[in-house]
């Protein structure tokens, strides 16, 4: 089974576990819609690649960790798209959750997805119960206070914010969780793995900023030119398009050095480069150059 298939199956299995006739149909549909069909599933792919490099011994634990991270990512997209934040009508090329199901069910679907991430960790660690605590620690840190996704989103409402802090909370934290959770799921100390995720997250965020300025609405499946319109901190606003592209390349050049010693380092490096090569479309890379 390839990695993409493992991720979809894990997501389906853990969502299935909380469905049923006692669930309000609207909420059930909104949650399914928020998760399927997905985007690139970059974070869970990185999580599984790290688990593999660390000598994965309980596949269902790493699959649960990867699924939990993707569920939190989906939750953050649903809430970010709400009228009081980005007010985005489009996501993944179709109406955003609040456009399709209304604002109340979008708020509740996001809440339910956050809870489901923890239910997923619990269900996935039945065979290795000692791995639940480190995974709860990693996952909760990536999304909660003081420096997780909610904090990153909240920085948008502060009068002053440093770009690096903002990007680390809003994007880096979940990538750091992806690598740390991959290690923890394999029974390996997660701390040394955070730096790798943070670096990949930084690169990803710079690309996101570039695509917001130079990307194509149809290819991205979401509106562009939002950072400037909303006054959000952005690499492009800070260093220009060409500066941002160079910044991306210099971040990626340092990725290899941040991979902790492990049996599968070479395979992991290849996978990360493959994923990263998809971040910035070739056409855009020329456009920016």
Binding footprint of a copy of itself on the chain (CB under 8 A): 18-20, 22-28, 31, 75, 79, 82, 84-85, 102-105, 107-108, 110-112, 114-116, 118-119, 121-122, 125, 129-130, 132-133, 136-137, 140-141, 143-148, 150-151, 153-158, 161, 165, 169
Residue placing its CB nearer to a copy of itself in the complex, 102 or 221: 102
Q: How far is the CB of 129 from a copy of itself (least distance, A)?
A: 6
Separation between Cα atoms, residue 11 and residue 19, nearest integer Å: 13
Could you say which DSSP state residue 232 is in?
-
The alpha-helical segments, DSSP class H, found in 125-279 are 132-143, 149-155, 163-167, 173-185, 194-214, 217-220, 226-230, 235-253, 265-279
Residue placing its CB nearer to a copy of itself in the complex, 113 or 236: 113
Residue placing its CB nearer to a copy of itself in the complex, 145 or 263: 145
Residue placing its CB nearer to a copy of itself in the complex, 14 or 43: 14
- Residue appearing with tokens 């509106």: 223
Q: How far is the CB of 19 from a copy of itself (least distance, A)?
A: 6
Could you say which DSSP state residue 57 is in?
S
124's CB contacts (< 8 A; 6+ apart) are: 14, 60, 61, 63, 64, 65, 67, 68
Residue placing its CB nearer to a copy of itself in the complex, 122 or 256: 122
- Residue 108's CB is within 10 A of a number of other CB atoms, namely 17
Q: How far is the CB of 21 from a copy of itself (least distance, A)?
A: 8
């Amino acid at each position: 089974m390839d990695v993409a298939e493992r991720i979809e199956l894990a997501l389906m299995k853990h969502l299935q576990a909380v469905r049923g006739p006692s669930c309000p149909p609207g909420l059930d549909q909104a949650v399914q819609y928020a998760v399927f069909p997905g985007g690139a599933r970059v974070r869970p792919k990185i999580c599984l690649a790290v688990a593999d490099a660390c000598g994965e011994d309980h596949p269902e634990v790493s699959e649960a960790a990867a699924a939990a991270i993707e569920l939190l990512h989906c939750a953050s997209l649903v809430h970010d798209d709400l009228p009081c934040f980005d007010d985005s009508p489009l996501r993944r090329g179709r109406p955003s959750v609040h456009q399709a199901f209304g604002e109340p069910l979008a708020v509740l679907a996001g809440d339910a997805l956050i809870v489901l991430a923890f239910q997923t960790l619990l269900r996935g660690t039945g065979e290795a119960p000692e791995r639940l605590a480190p995974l709860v620690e990693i996952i909760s840190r990536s999304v909660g206070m003081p420096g997780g996704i909610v904090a990153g989103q909240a920085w948008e409402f502060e009068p002053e914010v440093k770009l690096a802090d903002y990007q680390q909370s809003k994007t880096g934290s979940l990538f750091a969780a992806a690598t740390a959770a991959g290690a923890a799921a394999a029974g390996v100390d997660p701390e040394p793995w955070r730096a790798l995720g943070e670096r990949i997250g930084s690169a990803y965020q710079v690309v996101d900023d570039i695509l917001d300025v130079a990307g194509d609405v149809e290819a991205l499946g979401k509106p562009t030119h939002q950072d400037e319109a909303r006054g959000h901190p952005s690499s492009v606003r800070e260093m220009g398009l060409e500066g941002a592209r160079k910044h991306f390349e210099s971040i990626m050049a340092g990725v290899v050095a941040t991979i902790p010693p492990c049996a599968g380092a070479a395979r992991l490096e290849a996978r990360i480069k493959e994923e990263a090569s998809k971040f910035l479309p070739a056409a855009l890379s020329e456009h920016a150059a």
